[in-house]
Chains A and B, each alone.
Chain A
Amino acid sequence: MTAPILELDGISKRFVKSLDLAEKLVALVNPKLREQVVRAVDGVSLHVREREVLGLVGESGCGKSTLGRIIAGILPKSAGTVRYRGNDVDHLDASQARDVALKVQMIFQDPYASLNPRMRVQDIVGEAPLYHGIVTTDGIDDYVAEMLLRVGLDPSYRRRYPHQFSGGQRQRLGIARALAVRPDFLVCDEAVAALDVSIQAQVLNLFMKLREELGLTYLFISHDLGVVQHLSDRVAIMYLGRIVETGPTSELFEKPNHPYTQALLAGVPRLDQRHRRFEPVKGEIPSPLDPPHGCHFHPRCPHAIARCRAEQPRLVDIAPGRLAACHLNDGS
């Protein structure tokens, strides 16, 4: 078995949510409205193996992007340990830290917002590898051409600006920029969500091709279960800041263990299901600002028992390679 390339141990992130203008106005008449603390990520432990695609799924606001940003090193964590190739990233010297920062790159949902509109393609892709001495000034033109070809863009586009590209091309450009620093690990945050279906297929195929060619490892964040199922070797399901289940993709999709995973999979629209009878959500959908005690899922869970309201279930082994956090697995 290959050693994990990335290990997370008890990662947490707390945000203090200050009031926006509208809320400040409401607060004048309703003094109960105060600054609140969001536990966006709450004690997450996970690992990703070399060359693996780990899919991270969960509803909006459950903490996926926050976790992805911590892994990519662009957001400080509040607690926990991140180990990259066995080394605690908090205990690296400056040059090792720089190496890790380059090895883990992030691809965002909105390719436009993440590209400098006043820079040409040549500089968007070439700036970082030049700065970090990955390539010399003499070699940069060829290097940029190589990166563009790799993501399926014509190198003759090098003098263009981001606004001169379509959404799918901009996403390719974002990928070329990330690849230019020779990463091992890509954190893709809803990287195809903004794209049309036909263009989305092109970019998903590109991710798979790059994985083969470059031996990349991915954390693939998406709320689209079809995409995750297609791409991932393993899946982690997140609910209100916590991982509730992980396992190999096919096993998890065939036999989801956690009641939240079950609800999620039951809701996935599929091409071959016609004239469906859709089901309403049972119970109230909680706010991340005020998550329920015990098991976060208990107000919506059809199997909840008294213990679920009081005690947080731990993530435990339920089968080889599979973990879940539900009291029902205690078997007592």
Chain B
Amino acid sequence: MTSNFPTLVVEDLRTYFYTKAGVVKAVDGISFTVDRGEILGLVGESGSGKTVTGFSIMGLVDPPGRVAGGRILFKGDDIAGLPDDAMRTLRGNRIAMIFQDPMMTLNPVLRIDTQMIEAIKAHNAVSNDEARRRARDILGRVGIPSPDERLKAYPHQFSGGMRQRVSIAIALLNDPDLIVADEPTTALDVTIQGQILYEVQKLCRESRTAMIWITHDLSVIAGLADRISVMYAGRIVESGQVDEVLDRPLHPYTRGLIGSVPSENRRGVPLAQIPGMTPSLLNLPPGCAFRARCPRADNACLTPPEMTLAAPGREVRCFHPHLA
């Protein structure tokens, strides 16, 4: 195997939707790398292109959308535009996705054991008994009590949090090299969320799985991720180590986001708010997409800023970053 390549390298990825109203550039030239055992936090507000990024990697973008440019290198091989059957072999085997809604993974009319055993046997030549044993072990690992009994249940017999854990178990079944997790804990309560984050962390540590954790919640990313990429209107505007980005944000948007998070030391004080709202991708203004909301905007920002290296491992797309 080509194991000296990073698990995933995304280069200048562009995913466009060709709609009647015009071309929606949902992902417009993003690049990042995730290596073994690493957790990359992909942060941004709704509509910024996070899910489309995940779907692009998984080969799940449906018409009128398609990957219009760039490369997706999985262990060195470009998988953008791989034929459907080849992609299906990778999916659920070497690459898995955890969706925000667990019912995207689960089939409501099949028992959990049927679904899990099928998923194992689709990619491995093992006996039914062997597959069942594996399914049971993994249910136990994601904290499902009495896994033997639970295997015989249907999805609706689980609570929301348990269903999400089952869908995570299914993502783990074949020990994938890469997991794309799209806001899987956003709807969950903190105690259950903690349980799932515990399992995810353990997995990356022990199995060296590479993970992309998509979220709009900076607080979760703070505790979980190694590195962060911040998305705005289809582009990455800032990236770096988690401590660097959260303690010394360079981009005005990242600063605004951090200021918007309610926290104990700002109790009762009005929160910093980013004025205005996220722009429609159909008619983005020329220049920097954040311009209309940015306190630092000036005439320079009428041309689009490029991603530039601000320090080793630190990138920012802004003409007037908050440099120390």
Contact = CB atoms under 8 A, between A and B. Distances in A.
Contacts of A199: 45, 277
Interface in A134-158: none
Contacts of A276: 197, 223-224
Nearest to A229: B264
A9 to B, nearest CB: 28
B90 interface: no
Contact of B191 (A267, A270, A273): A267
Contacts of B217: 197, 269
Contacts of B154: 22, 26
Contact of A59 (B108, B192, B277): B192
B143 A280 contact: yes
Interface in B99-135: 108-109
B45 A197 contact: yes
B223 A281 contact: no
Interface stretch (B52-60, B253-261, B296-304): B253-261
A281 B143 contact: yes
Interface in B252-298: 256-264, 266-268, 270-274, 277-278
A60 B186 CA distance: 12
B309 interface: no
A61 B159 contact: yes
A226 B219 contact: yes
Residue from A197, A199, A263, A280 with most neighbouring chain B CB atoms (10 Å): A197
B220 interface: yes
B61 interface: no
Residue from A273, A278, A287 with most neighbouring chain B CB atoms (10 Å): A278
Interface in B52-88: none
A91 interface: no
A267 B193 contact: yes
Contacts of A287: 159
Contacts of B145: 284
A20 interface: yes
Contact of B246 (A226, A267, A274): A274
A230 interface: yes
B198 A271 contact: no
A59 B145 CA distance: 19
Contacts of B321: none
B195 A270 contact: no
B218 interface: yes
Given A205-B273, A264-B191, A269-B217, A197 B263 contact: no
A23 B108 CA distance: 11
A201 interface: yes
A197 B194 contact: no
B243 interface: yes
Interface string A214-225: 000000000111
Interface in A155-214: 166-169, 196-202, 204-205, 208-209
B308 interface: no
Interface in B203-225: 216-220, 222-224
B242 interface: yes
B310 interface: no
Nearest to A276: B223
B85 to A, nearest CB: 32
Nearest to A225: B190
Nearest to A61: B159
Contacts of A208: 268, 270
A267 B194 contact: yes
Nearest to B256: A198
Contact of A278 (B109, B156, B197, B278): B197
Given A230-B271, A269-B217, A196 B258 contact: no
A198 B273 contact: yes
Contacts of B272: 201
A59 B242 CA distance: 29
Given A26-B154, A274-B223, A281-B194, A196 B263 contact: no
10 contacts: A20-B156, A198-B273, A201-B262, A230-B267, A267-B194, A270-B263, A271-B218, A274-B243, A285-B159, A285-B192
Given A197-B216, A273-B222, A280-B198, 12 more contacts: A20-B156, A22-B108, A22-B109, A59-B192, A229-B263, A249-B267, A264-B191, A270-B219, A270-B222, A271-B246, A274-B243, A275-B242
Interface of A: 20, 22-23, 26, 59-61, 166-169, 196-202, 204-205, 208-209, 223-227, 229-231, 249-250, 253, 263-264, 266-281, 284-285, 287
